[in-house]
């Protein structure tokens, strides 16, 4: 199992970059992704980042919409993925 806290930190930094936040600390990890200002292109960027960085093939992984309810949910699901 991968480290969910490490994954969360990297996802938070990626979303901060995508939405133009000056500091990643302003990106809440328990809020819906759209509430963070992540648009459809930012979401696709996040998916590609996850696939490349963690080797998780999202289309074949069984992820559900609930797995993308927040950055915490995404990080936990990526950490649990084989």
How open is the CA angle 21-38-35, to the nearest 5 degrees?
Answer: 90
pLDDT band at residue 57 under the 50/70/90 scheme: confident
Tokens of 34: 């759209």
Tokens of 14: 């990626």
Which domains are present in the chain? 4-80 (1.10.1200.10)
- The whole-number pLDDT of residue 60 equals 78
d(CA 73, CA 31): 10
d(CA 50, CA 58): 8
End-to-end CA distance of the chain: 8
* pLDDT higher than 90, residue 13: yes
d(CA 44, CA 32): 15
């Amino acid at each position: 199992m991968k480290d969910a806290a490490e994954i969360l930190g990297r996802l938070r930094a990626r979303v901060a970059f995508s939405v133009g936040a000056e500091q990643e600390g302003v990106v809440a990890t328990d809020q819906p992704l759209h509430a963070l200002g992540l648009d459809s292109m930012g979401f696709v960027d996040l998916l590609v980042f996850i696939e490349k960085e963690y080797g998780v093939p999202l289309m074949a992984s069984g992820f559900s919409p609930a797995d993308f309810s927040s950055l915490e949910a995404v990080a936990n699901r990526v950490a649990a993925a084989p």
